[in-house]
Amino acid sequence: MEYTRLGRSGLSVSRLVLGTMNFGSRTSEEDSGAVMDHAHEHGINFFDTANSYGAQQGEGLTEQILGRWFAQGGGRREKTVLATKVYLPMGDRPNERGLSALHIRRAVDASLKRLQTDYIDLYQMHHIDRDTPWEEIWEAFSVLRQQGKVLYFGSSNFAGWHIALAQEAARSRHFLGLVSEQSIYNLMSRWAELEVLPAARHYGLGVIPWSPLHGGVLSGVLRKQREGLTGRSGSGLWAAAFAEQREAVEAYEKLCAELGEDPAHVGLAWLLAQDGVTGPIVGPRTVEQLDGTLRALEITLDHDTLAKLDKTFPPPAPNGAKPAPEAYAW
């Protein structure tokens, strides 16, 4: 396994991040435990979850599954860099959502109880809260760090200017601020390159891409269709994305075949080659799927292949190979 620092922090994390969103909904607790054990066996130490993950609102089922797995001992918690999130509704009352100091205090205590641990390594804001001032948010977070309940803080789904606002507010308090941003980023969704990635690099945030295969569209969807297999890419948002870029997906799968590599592995390898990316989140439902993702760490994409991928899935602006504002100006 390869490791890197999480942003400008001194924390070492694996270059593949184990996503747990399927645990408790699409993956049984027994199978979830097997996947996590297998991840440790391969050196994956960075696990991502959220208090909102699970079948029912407010139950935090996925966190509970992790907590019971940690409780089995064997150094499971000590070997894990644990990341969870706060923001989404955990109930119907008005103060059971968002990033108010009240909700943050209640949410972190509830997550700690479900996770059966006394601290969280990385506490991430699941979304920007436009109604809560940064002074309140950083005050609440500084208390959590003083109490030893949280070590590092991160964001998710932030725009580049949100990152700047957060970091400048933290700087005014002489606080470390954010060390990571979790953003949708993949070959088919490259908007993060305009503002989010430049802002993250400037402020020293590690970027953690979610949906690295665009809901499965980049995992060989055409081949799977020929083989009679289906997945998330066959419905909803991902189906629309596939329909819009079918020709590009065809060219992509042809290029992967020429390379002799699985499309899913190439998609992950491309992300690992991007400046500022800490590691993509992989969400395997089975041990076998987890094993498959490890191949991405062994693939080195040369300049010619990267250029072909840029041609197949162009950056989001005519001059998109450059950072903003040159990407859309001069």
Task: List, by residue number, the catalytic residues.
Answer: 53
List domains and CATH numbers for the chain: 3-217+262-302 (3.20.20.100)
Task: List Cβ neighbours of 231 (8 Å cut-off, separation of 6 or more).
Answer: 216, 219, 221, 224
Q: What is the pLDDT of residues 162-220, one digit of tens each?
A: 999 999 999 999 999 999 999 999 999 999 999 999 999 999 999 999 999 999 999 99
Q: What is the pLDDT of residues 292-302, one digit of tens each?
A: 999 999 999 99
Say if residue 7's pLDDT is above 80.
yes
Q: What is the pLDDT of residues 252-261, one digit of tens each?
A: 999 999 999 9
Q: List beta partners, residue 277.
A: 207
What are the b/e assignments for 46-55, b being 16+ CB within 10 Å?
A: bbbbbbbbbe
pLDDT of 166? 98
End-to-end Cα separation, the chain, in angstroms? 41
pLDDT of 236? 63
pTM of the model: 0.93
Q: List beta partners, residue 301.
A: none
Per 3-state DSSP, the chain is made up of helix, strand and coil in percentages (nearest 5) of 45, 15, 40
